[in-house]
Chains A and B, each alone.
Chain A
Amino acid sequence: MVDVLRFESPVTTIYPTGETEDLTLGDLSEITKQIVRADSKTAAAEQLAVTFGSSRIDGDVIVLGQRPDEFLLVGTPTATASLVEGLDRSGHVSVIDHTHSRAMFRLTGSNASATLEKLCSVDWSEPMTPNGAVVSASLAKVGCDIARLDRGPDRSYLIACDRSFAQYLFDAIIDAGNEFDIAVVALAPTLV
Chain B
Amino acid sequence: MLLVPCPNCGPRNSADLRYFGESHERPNPASASPHEWRSYLYLEDNPADWLKESWFCRSGCRRYFTLERHTGTNEFRSPPMPGNKVGGKA
Give chain A's interface residues, CB within 8 Å of chain B: 52-53, 67-68, 121-123, 125-128, 135-138, 143
SS of B interface (majority):
loop
| Number of A-B residue pairs at CB separation under 8 A | 53
A127 / chain B contacts, CB cutoff of 8 Å: 85-88
Q: Which of A123, A126, A137 sits near B16, CB closer than 8 Å?
A: A137
Q: Which residues of B contact A53 (CB under 8 A)?
A: 8-9, 82-83
Tell yes or no: B77 within 8 A of A by CB.
Answer: no
Bitwise, B37-68 to A at CB < 8 A (1) or not (0) is: 00000000000000000000011111100000
- Contact check, A67 vs B88: say whether CB atoms are below 8 A apart: no
State whether A52 and B8 are in contact (beta carbons under 8 Å apart), knowing that A127-B88, A136-B60, A138-B16 are contacts in the complex.
yes
Answer yes or no: B79 CB below 8 A from chain A CBs.
Answer: no
Given A52-B61, A123-B88, 5 more pairs with CB closer than 8 A: A122-B12, A128-B10, A135-B9, A137-B12, A137-B16
Interface positions of B (Cβ within 8 A of A): 1, 8-13, 15-16, 58-63, 82-83, 85-90
Chain B: minimal CB distance from A27 (Å): 23
Q: A121-B13, A121-B16, A123-B87 are in contact. Are A137 and B61 (CB under 8 A)?
A: no
Contact call A128/B85, Cβ cutoff below 8 A: yes
Q: Are A121 and B1 in contact (CB under 8 A)?
A: yes
Name A123's closest neighbour in chain B (CB-CB): B90
